[in-house]
Amino acid sequence: MDRTLVEKYAAPVPRYTSYPTAPHFNAAISATTYGSWLRALPKGASASLYVHIPYCDRLCWFCACHTKQTRKYDPLVSYLTALAAEIDTVAALCGSRLKVNALHFGGGSPTMLKAEHILSLGRRLRDRFAFTSDAEISVEMDPNDMDEARFDALASIGMTRASLGVQDFDERVQQAINREQTFEQTKSVVDGVRARSVRSVNLDMLYGLPHQTLESIVSTTDKLLSLRPDRIALFGYAHVPWMKKHQTMIDEALLPDACARLEQAEAATQLILAAGYEAVGMDHFALPTDSLAVAARSGALRRNFQGYTTDQADALIGLGASSIGLLPQGYVQNMPATGEYERRVLAGGLATVRGFALSNADRMRAWVIERLMCDFSFSRCELLDLFGEAARNVVAEAELLAASDRDGVFVRAGNRFVVTEPGKPFVRSISAAFDSYLGEGTARHSIAV
């Protein structure tokens, strides 16, 4: 491990699940704007839905999601009433014209919902939108929430993919992040969804956590692989206590440095690859027959707020507090505060409070960054074909970046600009070179490795 190289490229940069990134969204994009964008979606357009449940019955200290802890169920009942109102409003604006090919329940903990509420929410979404027969329905699951009634309810609404957070099976690490979850609990959920014919299981694990060592990472990876998930996400812990105050509960002195983080990631990666998985982007793996691996091999991999995806929809519609959507015109985001979100949608309106209207220059740079994040390369000719003369400035930037690189991380190879094998751990930093907004504003980010 070249410490000088790691220190050079580990500076904080965005994760690029969007471009421009969320800190650059602005209040000029309002509920009125969003309504007009929804009405402009053409008949037959494809869409994916994201439904956000911003509650957990415990707060994991590593988490950077928009969520809050509650020991009572009443707040979820109130929230679901408001969510139903938003679903009705959005569907009235565009629902009959869209073909929904994907639905993702995220959080928070969607599996906090009682079985009857899972069923009623699933029915409302299917009543208001036209789902394709092969629509993918994925759910983020907390094993501590699950019981037989919830398993059956999720199967009844058509769940096709279950996503579970593992993080680390080491008890000392779990205690340090307030996420106690045994291997047996995790296995019981994997077995439970597979018994109900769910065809895909995704497991998430983290590196860079307090008390983590190479030994604990190897042990966790071995246990995770014994469950033979279809997909694995290997994320670096994003320590952002200035944004997520509960992360101050984590002792920074116990966090591994950038080199140790990369060593942990490499150890896990080698085990996963040796088990027959294929690398997908910078932090995902999939069995060769999984659609994510197929998309990566064919150049059809995409990246959005859920991370790497096969979703090719024309629009991503976010539902719920803090949800982000993407339409052809740009990004929209709902009010994050649940009380104000509920007030706005129960009044019959939309809850949009900010967003970003995309220019052609934005779309061009978004395409370059997405291809780097997904394929570790992009084609000069394809860029020019897609965006014409306007792309020549970006081509010139890429030429200069490749020519000035003395570290062997970014090169020109014929018609393509390529992130090399040594450069792949630093793809976020390389992508940041094409981000024209990065120096603007006061946004802070997690380290890039």
User: 23 and 170, same structural domain?
Assistant: yes
CA separation for the pair 32, 342 (Å, rounded): 17
d(CA 307, CA 18): 10
What pLDDT score was predicted for residue 448? 66
Q: How many domains does the chain have?
A: 2
Residue 164 tokens read as 């579970």
Contact assessment for residue 17 and residue 302, using Cβ atoms and an 8 Å cutoff: no
Residue 286 zone, left/alpha/beta (φ > 0; ψ -120 to 50; rest): beta
Q: What is the CATH number of the domain that holds 380?
A: 1.10.10.920
pTM of the model: 0.94
Instruction: Provide, for the chain, the percentages of residues in helix, strand and coil under a 3-state DSSP scheme, each rounded to the nearest 5.
Output: 45, 20, 35
Cβ atoms within 10 Å, residue 289: 9
- Check whether residue 46 and residue 131 sit in a common domain: yes
Look at residue 398 in the predicted model and tell me its pLDDT.
Answer: 98
On whether both 218 and 341 belong to a single domain, the answer is yes
Q: Is residue 437 part of a domain?
A: no
Residue 19 has, within 13 A of its CA and on its CB side, a CA count of: 29
Which tokens in the block code for residue 8?
């050079």
348-399: pLDDT as tens digits: 999 999 999 999 999 999 999 999 999 999 999 999 999 999 999 999 999 9
In a domain, 160, yes or no: yes
pLDDT at 447: 72
Query: Does 414 share its domain with 381?
Result: yes
The whole domain housing 94 covers 3-356
Asked, for residue 205, whether it belongs to a domain, the answer is: yes
Q: Tell me what pLDDT residue 138 has.
A: 97
Q: How far is CA 380 from the centre of its chain?
A: 28
Measured torsion, CA atoms of residues 237, 334, 68, 217, in degrees rounded to the nearest 10: -20
By the 8 A CB rule, do 249 and 178 touch? yes
Q: Please tell me whether residues 66 and 194 are part of one structural domain.
A: yes
The rounded distance, in Å, linking the Cα atoms of 114 and 76 is 10
Name the H helices within 95-231.
115-128, 148-156, 171-177, 183-194, 214-226
Give the per-residue pLDDT at 291.
96
- The reply to whether 446 falls in a domain is no
The answer to whether residue 40 sits within a structural domain is yes
Answer yes or no: do 98 and 156 share one domain.
yes
Last-in-domain residue among 331, 356, 381? 356
Tell me the CATH number at 272.
Answer: 3.80.30.20
What is the greatest pairwise CA distance in the chain?
A: 61
**Whether the Cβ atoms of residue 335 and residue 79 lie closer than 8 Å to each other:** no
Domain boundary among 310, 338, 356: 356
Question: Is there a domain that residue 245 lies in?
Answer: yes
Same domain, 280 and 223: yes
Q: Give strand pairing partners of 319.
A: 51
400 and 428 belong to one structural domain? yes
Q: Tell me: do 131 and 218 sit in the same domain.
A: yes
For residue 24, is it within any domain? Answer: yes
Structure tokens at 71: 């020991």
- Dist CA 143 CA 184 (whole Å): 10
Q: Which of 443, 377, 387 has the alpha carbon at shortest distance from 415?
A: 377
pLDDT value at position 1?
Answer: 63
Domain match, 214 and 166 both:
yes
| Average pLDDT by stretches of 10, the chain with 449 residues | 83 93 96 98 97 93 88 96 98 94 96 98 97 97 95 98 95 94 96 95 97 96 98 94 88 92 96 98 97 97 94 97 98 97 98 98 98 98 97 98 96 97 95 93 72
Radius of gyration in angstroms for the set of CA atoms belonging to the chain, rounded to a whole number: 21
Q: How far apart are CA 425 and CA 13, in angstroms?
A: 13
* Residues across the chain: 449
Kindly state whether residues 412 and 333 are assigned to the same domain: no
Of 120, 114, 194, 125, which Cα lies nearest the Cα of 160?
194
End-of-domain residue from the set 324, 356, 388: 356
**Both tokens of residue 5?**
């190289």
- Residue-wise over 301-335: b if at least 16 C-beta within 10 A, else e? bbbbbbbbbbbebbbbbbbbbbbbbbbebbbbbbb
Domain contains 248: yes
